[in-house]
Amino acid sequence: MDAKFYKLILLGGAVRFYFVRTPLASLISDRVEFATPLNSQKRMKEGIYLLDQGIDPYSGDLVHETPLVLKALSGLFLNFPQWLPLIYIMLDLLTGALLYNLSVRFVKQKLQKQRLERKNYAKDTEQLQYNDDDNYDIPELVLIAYLFNPLTVLSCIGLTSTVLSNLFLALFLYFLTKGLLLPCIFLLAFETVRSFYPIVLMAPLLLVFARRSFAGGVILSVLFAVACLIIAAASYLVIESWSFLDGTLGFIFYFRDLQPNIGLFWYFFTEMFEHFRTMFLITFQLNATVLYLVPLSLKLRKEPLLLATVLVALMAVFRAYPSLGDVGFYLALLPLWKRCWKYMAHGFVVFTFFLVTLSMMGTLWHLWIYAGSANANFYFGATLAFSTGQIFLITDLLFAHVKREFCLYNGQKIMIDGEEARILLK
């Protein structure tokens, strides 16, 4: 870590500290784009108060954080609430530092792999290969993309528990690149019990540690299941009840709160007839978890970190209660694939989608809720376009990776019948 790293960390902390002391912080904590039923600070505060009074926090339909997190943060919320913003800022900076360090290790691994495979590369592919400058450039880009992304900054100052989710995911990815099995399993189990969807990250974990061994995969799956049971049992000991399972995982799977957010669930389940609910519920949850898992795992079996990045991005798009903080996290991972950017063809389209839709969300929400001159269709249209832009970004990255891999071994100029061939997405 050089001096520039510490300067960026201090500057990122200063930006957050400045905004958390402004009225913007309380505004963001109430915005549906950032605060959902799962990550809202107000709901967590209510759950901690109920737990402290000896009342089951899950007896109603307000609290959806796990008992372990409520218990771990209860002392801070009850006794030192004035320190909450500073603690959240420090956790967010730690997430940035972890992403920086995993980027450093990732680039070193790429350079080592290239040294072994370079003899098979085509001659005109130097710009597609990782080089020594990437040891500094890529980690700095990742750090900047996380610390100064408005989506992560606003999520932090709004004191949403997305800050915790991002930290746990960053820890998981860091240990994944370090090759530390047990921390990966327990972190993934903890996040799965918290928010269900990270279970799909078992795929990159198996690719890294099972090494194409069926027996190894079975053993790791059993270890993961045991870790989930241990965490569930520890949660049971906190409140001496299993009600938290329905209040967390059950609440997510059955999608009981129709509060608008940036996702795709709320509008469909508000509009549909009740007798279709089970069918659409299963369909939407399959789409958010296993639908893309097998084909992506097969295609990206040699790139487990890219697989993890894509799965985290798909979670941010298709989960039941997404927030903009989830989007900011996976955007910070994109600089890892800097060598694919040459083949990403939809950068301007994606940037325009993001800029326009994010700008319109606040306006259309005001017109719908406060002015009464719009309706849910207007707001959902903006969020649907935002999700479409994210899908463009994910598919663009995947196709760019495929083109880079092909060109590394076959050259950037392929001639067919005397003319330069082009690879097109059909």
User: Tell me, what's the pLDDT at 416?
Assistant: 64
User: Hey, what are 75's tokens?
Assistant: 């002392």
Residue 291: CB partners within 8 Å, gap ≥ 6?
Answer: none
What is the Cα–Cα distance from 201 to 178, expressed in whole angstroms? 16
> Are the C-beta atoms of residues 233 and 189 closer than 8 Å to each other?
no
Quick one: which of 322, 356, 341, 357 has its CA closest to 393?
Answer: 341
Region at 254 (left for phi over 0; alpha for psi -120 to 50; beta for the rest): alpha
Distances (CA, A) of 271 to 32, 258, 266, 380: 19, 10, 9, 12
Percent of the chain at pLDDT exceeding 90: 73
159-174 pLDDT, tens digit per residue, is 999 999 999 999 999 9
Q: Name the more confident of 386 and 119.
A: 386
Whether 423 has a pLDDT exceeding 80, the answer reads no
The reported pLDDT for the residue numbered 374 is 84
Tokens of 288: 């958010």
Q: How far apart are CA 364 and CA 378, in angstroms?
A: 6
Q: What is the pLDDT of residue 422?
A: 65
pLDDT digits (tens, 9 = 90+) for 219-269: 999 999 999 999 999 999 999 899 999 999 999 999 998 899 999 999 999
Mean of the pLDDT values across residues 190-213? 91
What's the average model confidence in pLDDT over 152-161? Answer: 95
In this prediction, residue 414 carries a pLDDT of 65
Radius of gyration of the chain (CA): 22
pLDDT digits (tens, 9 = 90+) for 276-292: 899 999 999 999 999 99
Residue 242 DSSP one-character state: S
Q: What is the DSSP string of 275-335?
A: GGHHHHHHHHHHHHTTTTHHHHHHHTTT-HHHHHHHHHHHHHHHSSS--HHHHHHHHTTGG
Question: What residue type is 228 in one-letter code?
Answer: C
Q: Are 312 and 329 in contact (CB under 8 A)?
A: yes
- Please determine, for residue 408, whether its predicted confidence score (pLDDT) is greater than 70: yes
Supply the pTM of this predicted model.
0.94
Angle (nearest 5°) at CA 279 between 274 and 280: 80
The set of residues, in sequence order, having a beta carbon less than 8 Å from that of 390 and lying 6+ positions away, is 313, 316, 317, 327
205 vs 9: CA distance, rounded Å: 29
**pLDDT tens digits, one per residue of 304-338:** 999 999 999 999 999 999 999 999 999 999 999 99
Helix axes 376-410, 304-318, angle to 10 degrees: 170
Query: Above 70 in pLDDT, residue 419?
Result: no
**Mean per-residue pLDDT for 24-42?**
92
- Counted residue by residue, the chain has a size of 426
| DSSP state, residue 338 | G
Distance CA 227, CA 229 (A): 5
Residue 205 CA: distances (Å) to CA of 217, 224, 272, 306: 9, 10, 37, 12
Higher pLDDT, 122 or 58: 58
Helix (H) or strand (E) holding 412: none
Q: Which has the higher per-residue pLDDT, 119 or 85?
A: 85
Task: Supply the pLDDT for residue 421.
Answer: 64
Identify the pLDDT of residue 424.
62
Which pLDDT band holds residue 61 (cuts at 50, 70, 90)?
A: confident
Nearest of 260, 337, 362, 314 to residue 35 by alpha carbon: 260
User: Is residue 413 scored above 80 in pLDDT?
Assistant: no
Q: What mean pLDDT, rounded, does the chain reach? A: 91
Cβ atoms within 10 Å of 6's Cβ, excluding its own: 11
Residue 304, both tokens: 């487990």
- For 364-393, the pLDDT digits (tens) are 999 999 888 888 999 999 999 999 999 999
CB 103 within 8 A of CB 142: yes
Amino acid letter for position 377: N
pLDDT tens track for 121-145 = 888 788 888 888 888 899 999 999 9
Reading phi first (left if > 0) and then psi (alpha if -120 to 50, else beta), residue 255 is in: left
Q: What angle do CA 90, 28, 148 make, to 5 degrees?
A: 50
pLDDT value at residue 210: 84
Q: Name the residue among 155, 173, 175 with its Cα closest to residue 164.
A: 155
Q: What is the pLDDT of residue 72?
A: 92
